[in-house]
Structure 1
Amino acid sequence: MTPVLADLSVDDPAVGEWLAATGRSAAALQDLVRRRAGCGLARALVVLADSDALDDEALRRELVLAHEEAREAGAREQSLVYGIYLFTHRHYQAAADHLVVHFAQFPADEIAGSMLSAFDLAGPVEYREHGQALTEQQYALAGPEAWPWASWLAGARAEQGRPDDAWSLAEHALRLNPRSGPAAHARAHAEHEHGTGPGYTAFIDTWLEADPHAVQRRHLQWHAALQSIAAGDFADARRRADAELHYGDVGMRSATNWRLLLAGQTPARTADLDHIHRLLSEPGGWAEVFHTFQLALGLAVATDTDALQALARRAADDPRPDYAEVLAPVAKALAHLTTGRPGHAVDLLTALGDQAQRIGGVRVEREIIQDTLARALIDAGQPQRATHLLHHRTTTRHHHTYEDLLLTPSQGAATTADGNSAVPAG
């Protein structure tokens, strides 16, 4: 079965640029609106692409108008605009539910496929797994020549812990469309699991050289920084973080720096602490558990123990289970590490177990919780447990200098009788 071709699809050059997340995608969508005046779906795609920069009033105004325009185009266009409305308003569970219905009516719709992240952002693990199964189903319907679906399935395979399959699918998608940003991103996730180090950084530098303004540039460079850390090239990791990550990239910057600190290395430029406090004081700072977790990492990098403890207390009182049951103990563990009490961090993170995946994000991003536990185990005088925890990574990744350093006792981190460190981390 071929992908949906009615009205706008990947066959339109502007839609193709947007689905590939190329550096021309924003200009291409604006040109699409001019070419297709009165096309509600075209208007909605511009909103979807710019949603982070629009306030709620502008978002609603543009999408209400887009839905009115879409009424004349047909059921598919109305359904897509409604899905975009749910997605851009961060109603991710509702958006995911809507996509299930949409794909039943309009199989292999590439524009709907661009919102598959709703399943990851919805919260419950069951949604994540359903999204992966749906992606596989839609790829089968679209056919092997559908590079968007090959790209998205590559990402799903990486999340399922199948890096070989992810890498092969990403390469297949890149052969079909060398500028597919989602495929390059999926390959980054596969390369992380493989620990390719310089192999990935060389790939991404060459890939970005052909499109230096690619939408995902900063995120792909963040992946490159992680691979430099994996290979022990900490200077390159700091260089990439400082050169590529913006002031607002608090999550990626903090995740990079916390890894560097866990490995006993000097961090790159840190996120502004006042900015982190401001984000935490706003509703958006608590809208998604993973986003709040990233802010907690920023506090840990800054050794702001008081703020971490306050965050943990607030999370513990939050009616949302993922905040109270997962984020709260993680934040408490980070607070303990900043005061040199790794034994307490070990107890909290060990008790959490597999439930850590409820923190949200993707495998690469959640892995930092395991990193933190490994460091806490080492500094609490439990090296055998730490070695067992990271065994899979140290035996399967080509470059694992980072893991080796996680398993190296911190300088001066002598432990006390209760299994805690005599000196604070960082």
Structure 2
Amino acid sequence: MTLTDHYGNALSTGATAARDAYDWGVALLLAAGSGALEAFDSAIAADPDFALAHAGRARAFTTRAQMKDARAAIATAQSLAAKASAREQAHIAAMAAMIAGQSAEARRLTMAHVADHPRDALVAQLCSNVFGLIGFSGEVGREAELFAYTSRLLPHYGQDWWMMSMHALALCETGQTDASLALMEQALALNPRNANGAHFKAHALYELGEVTAGRRYLDDWMTGYDATGSLHGHLSWHSALWALADGDTDGLWQTVDARIGPRSTCSLPINVVTDTAAILYRAQMAGVAVAPERWSELSDYVAARFPNPGQSFVDIHAALAYAMAGEGEKLARLADTQTGFAADLVRPVARAWAAMAAQDWQGALAELTPVMGEAVRLGGSRAQRDLLELSYVNVLMKLGLTEEARRVITTRRPVIAGQIRAAA
């Protein structure tokens, strides 16, 4: 009898234990939980020739930023692929392209694969989420494309907590917040410990301006969520944003120091850099004193983890850290970068951060103004791109253009209009 996975896909293993462990690993990856790597290890122990378990193991390593291990694991999967089905071979090929950093090819392979095998969730996942292959495409219409992608897949999944949560995020990012929250509640009812679901619910509550409700929900949900979970640090960033909005400075710094910053988190380096830079500067713009040592520590972390430009969403946050830490040489390198999916936008943003650090508000305005119309290309969620929205508005206010600032923010991001305050 042919064994199938949780989503009904035939598997090239005859070991029930391998199938069960594989299913558990996939579920943990889709829920951003802890233990996926160990689950795939168990699947391999039950059947060392199970190619898809090695591919799953490779994917689990990427969620820990252990790319050397990921490359070794996917190479093993490729070496075993001849014994696997055509579907599994295509699954492994898409995963291998993603791990090799071949984003365009990985996206092409993923799209072709899910057209034939829409319920191959671990491959479908590569193009979902704002940090997926669509999210980091550098395209102006990426939010609409993500919505179209999950809309095509949703009918194939029925009452599936993972796909429902992915579509709910796409709804949220295209401005359909009420529908997003309703669908997310359904997804969380099916799997309350889905960290992606909790994360996307936080996004919906943020878009609705529900500071108190959002903070209460997330602080309660995170009780019991393992610190090694891939979203632990980023969920903490959402909590810190709400602490800032609440005026709870002590709560803000406790969260930053215990769960977000470079010394205190197990998060992926991309989250450490982007979340820390964003919360520090958003606090600074709100009039909260930010110790220079915080910027220096983050700057050192960026230089160690991302020595070469090329990931545009990281690059704009790296540029912010360098600017605020006074690292002119490193900042200049980013301002000259020619690599990355939105390098043409990274350059003026880097120059804008430099101008802001020097309190050259007119210069900052000149650099940021042409960026704002295409800022979506830089990647990240609406909540993350609010760093640029608030920075732009703050620059206008520094120049005394208060009415223009209010017009811009109420037109572009009314949910954060109440957060406008010129930095002290």
| TM-score, scaled relative to structure 2 | 0.85
2:401 is the alignment partner of 1:382: yes
Match of 1:99 in 2: 110
Tell me by how many angstroms 1:160 deviates.
1.4
1:348-387 correspondence runs (5 A): 348-387=367-406
Question: How many Å separate the matches in 2 of 1:132 and 1:393?
Answer: 20
> Which residue of the partner structure matches residue 224 of structure 2?
210
Shift of 1:122: 2.6
What SS is found at the alignment partner of 2:187? Answer: helix
Q: 1:273 aligns with which of 268, 287, 299?
A: 299
Instruction: Quote the Cα distance in structure 2 between the aligned partners of 1:89 and 1:128.
Output: 25
Residue by residue over 1:93-150, the C-alpha shift from the partner in whole angstroms, topping out at 9 and shown as x without a partner, is 211111110011112321222212111123223455333311111012222x111110
8 Å Cα contact 1:195/1:227 also seen in 2: no
> 2:21·2:43 contact (CA, 8 Å) conserved in 1?
no
Instruction: Show the 5 A alignment for 1:172-211.
Output: 172-211=186-225
Change (3 A) 1:55 1:146: closer
Indicate the larger mover: 219-228 or 128-137.
128-137
CA distance in 2, matches of 1:394, 1:43: 44
Give the C-alpha shift of residue 55 in structure 1: 4.5
Distance 1:302 1:196 in 2: 33
Residues 127, 391 of structure 1: CA spacing in aligned structure 2 closer, same or farther, 3 A cutoff?
A: closer
Please point out which of 7, 10, 16 is paired with 2:27.
16
321 and 106 in structure 1: CA distance in 2 versus 1, 3 angstrom threshold: closer
* Structure 1 residue aligned with 2:234: 219
Q: Which residue number corresponds to residue 363 of structure 2?
A: 344
Which string of whole-angstrom CA distances, capped at 9 and with x for unpartnered residues, describes residues 310-342 of structure 1?
A: 432x13xx2667213x11111111111111111
Conserved 8 A contact 1:139-1:149: yes
Runs of at least 5 residues in structure 2 that lack an aligned partner in the other structure? 1-5, 12-18, 263-268
Aligned pairs for 1:19-168 within 5 A: 19-51=30-62, 52-56=64-68, 58-116=69-127, 117-126=132-141, 129-143=144-158, 145-168=159-182
Once the two structures are TM-superposed, the CA of residue 230 in structure 1 deviates from its matched residue by 2.3
- The code of the aligned residue for 1:178 comes to P
Mapping for residues 313-352 of structure 1, pairs under 5 Å: 314-315=336-337, 318=338, 322-324=342-344, 326-352=345-371
SS of the equivalent of 2:84 reads: coil
Q: Distance in 1 between matches of 2:24 and 2:298?
A: 40
Cα drift, residue 162 of structure 1: 2.0
1:293 paired residue among 313, 316, 319? 316
Aligned to 2:244: 229
Is this contact kept in 2: 1:299–1:308, CA < 8 A?
yes
**Structure 1 residues 3 and 44: CA distance shift in structure 2, 3 A:** closer
AA at the equivalent of 1:390: I
Q: Supply the AA of the counterpart residue of 2:66.
A: L
1:303 CA displacement: 4.4
Instruction: Give, in angstroms, the shift of residue 392 of structure 1.
Output: 5.2
| Whole-angstrom CA distance in 1 between matches of 2:125 and 2:413 | 35
Query: What one-letter code is carried by the residue in structure 1 that aligns with 2:331?
Result: L
1:347 deviates by: 2.3
| Structure 1 Cα separation of the partners of residues 184 and 119 of structure 2 | 18
CA distance in 2, matches of 1:22, 1:409: 39
* Distance in 2 of aligned mates of 1:385 and 1:9: 59
SS of 1:152 mapped into structure 2: helix
Q: 1:232, 1:107 → 2: CA distance?
A: 46
Checking the alignment, whether the CA contact within 8 Å between 1:80 and 1:112 is kept in structure 2 is yes
SS in structure 2 at match of 1:209: coil
Partner of 2:331: 308
- 2:276 aligns with one of 226, 232, 253: 253
2: CA distance, partners of 1:279 / 1:23: 23
Q: Which runs of 5+ in 1 are unaligned?
A: 412-426
Q: CA separation of 1:184/1:190 partners in 2, compared to 1, >3 Å: closer, same or farther?
A: same
Structure 2 distance, partners of 1:337, 1:373, is 10
CA distance in 2, matches of 1:48, 1:255: 27
1:53 positional shift? 4.1
The CA distance in 1 between the partners of 2:286 and 2:408, in whole Å, is 16
Which residue among 1, 5, 9 is the counterpart of 2:9?
Answer: 5
> CA contact under 8 A between 2:154 and 2:163: conserved in structure 1?
yes
Q: CA RMSD in A?
A: 2.5
Contact 2:396 2:405 in 1 (8 A): yes
Contact 2:311 2:341 (8 Å CA) reproduced: no
Alpha-carbon offset, residue 14 of structure 1: 3.2
**More displaced, 63-72 or 131-140?**
63-72
User: Residue by residue, what CA displacement relative to the aligned partner does 1:8-67 show, whole Å, maximum 9, x if unpaired?
Assistant: 6999333222321223333323222223331111111111111354354x5444222202
How far is 1:306 from its partner? 5.4
Distance in 2 between residues matched to 1:45 and 1:306, nearest whole Å: 40
Please state how far the C-alpha of 1:360 moved relative to its aligned partner.
2.0
